[in-house]
């Protein structure tokens, strides 16, 4: 019952944070857009053109962030998206300050706040979307029915060998029952990291990255290793978080 209440509280907080983030994003983009419109109107653009011109700057931030989100879900780094976001952000900040004209330093700071806030809060919004998409359980396609092969007639064994085989068949399930069952992880990469805990220590970031590379998962960032993969393993088995750290481990 306590776990269900905790889950509901976490969900409500996540929804509240998302709504506040969306609202603040809209306000900061509006303030930045208005300043750029004023700058365009004062430099030869009128009517619809003055309103359309700011989009040529702020759109770089939106497009770049969306492409960065897409690349993150594909476990890649899209440098073009990073360049687009950085170019739009720097351009928006510089032009917002320029729209203030020749004024004192504090007025320039006031004009610089909206584009800076727009960049930070929009990045936070993309991060929340990324976490929601990356932790969503994947849909499992129904398995096709398997038709068992016709059993072959095994040759008769001598009494001693037949008795030994029967004992082995009885002991094998018992051995399987003694093996601890691993949980089913949402992120398949957890299966490559979980065996490191069998040493009786809590593995570090470097050891987990090496295990992921050896399993063919490619290079994974530190925040993903600690905040997604390790967090999910220790969510299923909280006792693992109490293990002593591995000697010489990193994070």
Domain boundaries, the chain: 9-134, 190-242
Q: According to the model, what pLDDT value does residue 111 have?
A: 81
pLDDT tens column, 60-89: 788 888 888 888 888 888 888 888 888 888
In angstroms, the CA 39 to CA 46 distance is: 11
Q: According to the model, what pLDDT value does residue 175 have?
A: 47
Mean per-residue pLDDT, 115-141: 73
Measured CA distances, 29 to 120, 151, 222 (Å)? 11, 70, 31
Tokens of 42: 């004062």
Gyration radius of the chain's alpha carbons:
28
- How many of the other CB atoms lie within 10 Å of CB of 86? 14
DSSP-based three-state secondary structure for 202: strand
Measured in degrees and rounded to the nearest 5, phi and psi for residue 54 equal -60, -25
| Confidence band, pLDDT 50/70/90 cuts, at residue 162 | low
User: How far apart, in Å, do the first and last CA atoms of the chain sit?
Assistant: 34
42 class by beta-carbon count within 10 Å (0-12 exposed, 13-18 middle, 19+ buried):
exposed
| Confidence band, pLDDT 50/70/90 cuts, at residue 8 | confident
User: pTM value?
Assistant: 0.42
Alpha helices in the chain (DSSP H): 2-41, 48-52, 55-73, 79-98, 105-134, 159-178, 190-193, 205-214, 222-224, 231-236
């Amino acid at each position: 019952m306590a776990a269900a209440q905790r889950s509901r509280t976490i969900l409500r907080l996540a929804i509240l944070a998302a709504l506040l983030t969306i609202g603040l994003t809209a306000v900061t983009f509006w303030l930045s857009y208005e300043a750029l419109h004023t700058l365009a109107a004062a430099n030869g653009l009128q009517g619809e053109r003055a309103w359309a011109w700011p989009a040529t700057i702020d759109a770089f931030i939106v497009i770049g962030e969306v492409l960065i989100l897409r690349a993150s879900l594909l476990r890649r780094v899209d440098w073009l998206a990073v360049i687009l976001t950085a170019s739009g952000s720097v351009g928006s900040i510089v032009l917002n300050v320029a729209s203030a004209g020749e004024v004192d330093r504090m007025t320039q700071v006031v004009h610089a706040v909206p584009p800076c806030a727009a960049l930070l809060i929009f990045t936070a919004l993309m991060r929340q979307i990324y976490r929601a998409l990356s932790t969503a359980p994947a849909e499992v396609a129904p398995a096709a029915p398997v038709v068992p092969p016709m059993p072959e007639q095994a040759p008769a064994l001598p009494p001693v060998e037949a008795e030994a085989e029967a004992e082995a068949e009885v002991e094998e399930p018992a051995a399987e029952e003694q093996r601890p069952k691993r949980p089913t992880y949402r992120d398949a990469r957890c299966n490559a990291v979980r065996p490191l805990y069998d040493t009786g220590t809590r593995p570090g970031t470097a050891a987990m990255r090496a295990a992921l590379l050896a399993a063919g998962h490619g290079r994974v960032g530190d925040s993903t290793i600690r905040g997604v993969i390790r967090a999910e393993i220790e969510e299923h088995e909280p006792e693992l978080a109490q293990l002593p750290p591995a000697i010489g481990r990193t994070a």
